[in-house]
A = this chain, B = another copy of it.
């Protein structure tokens, strides 16, 4: 992979660790390498704009690393927004987009409101079904802020994330009813059997995921779900499509006023009376911003098993790795 692209991937993964989203951090490196070795991720890919209009681009990501494709897409959407008020970038045939909040937050830093979402293989139940029918389709929305910084929402459309199920599995703790199905599609509270998360708020979560597939995949004639639902996961290629939308705040009003109003809204909500079991009312992304600050200062605690795995793949590839203790 060209050095600049590798640096982008590293930046996005380490950012997720800094934000405390370890499920999307450097622990993904071994999987990314597998994707390269399987031919699912093209390390030589350079995302290209295929068609372009006043406010939109269709990008052929050519199976580039997700961070490379999404950085390119969010920048293109931001450029278009600055020219046209709103901008859309469709990224066709990308790979694992990593933490979407990275891109929307970066865009917010450039004065736009940003929306990004990605479509992937079926790994979440469609409402009413006893099988994976849609993807957990992450969606992120960010807006520039004032002294408190941008607000960034980053959510999956499942009631629990795949990473959340993996964590429950490692901890051996039963999961709540209504969270997941087992491989056969039967509801389960056993974390060792839980495979398929259920959608958040039933039809709302799976409806959002379905719409992400329509907007990201069908819009660029690269359907993922209809080709893979009900087929064996083994041997299936890793595939994603994504979109990024940017809206130029300065086009519609004074950006300084917007920033102050975002701060004022956050302060208003944070001052509301709280549930007794909630120590503080948090804005979307606030916990991540605190983790970012703390971990930027104190370092990222890396579980031994992740550090060992990184050391193993580094050794296999003959790459020097800084000692981890």
Contacts and interface: CB of A to CB of B under 8 A. Distances in A.
A88 interface: yes
Contacts of A282: 127-128, 203
**Chain A at the B interface: mostly helix, strand, loop or mixed?**
mixed
Contacts of A113: 214-215, 219
Interface string A151-184: 1010100010000000000000000000000000
Nearest to A287: B203
Query: What number of copies of this chain does the assembly contain?
Result: 2
A185 B278 CA distance: 14
B86 A87 contact: yes
Contacts of A272: 126, 129-131, 133, 229-230
A258 interface: yes
A55 B58 contact: no
Interface string A275-287: 1001011111000
A83 interface: yes
Given A200-B204, A220-B253, A252-B51, A284 B85 contact: no
A247 B252 CA distance: 20
A223 interface: yes
A206 to B, nearest CB: 9
A16 interface: no
A215 B88 contact: no
Interface stretch (A20-28, A259-267, A307-315, A317-325): A259-267
Interface string A243-260: 001010101111001100
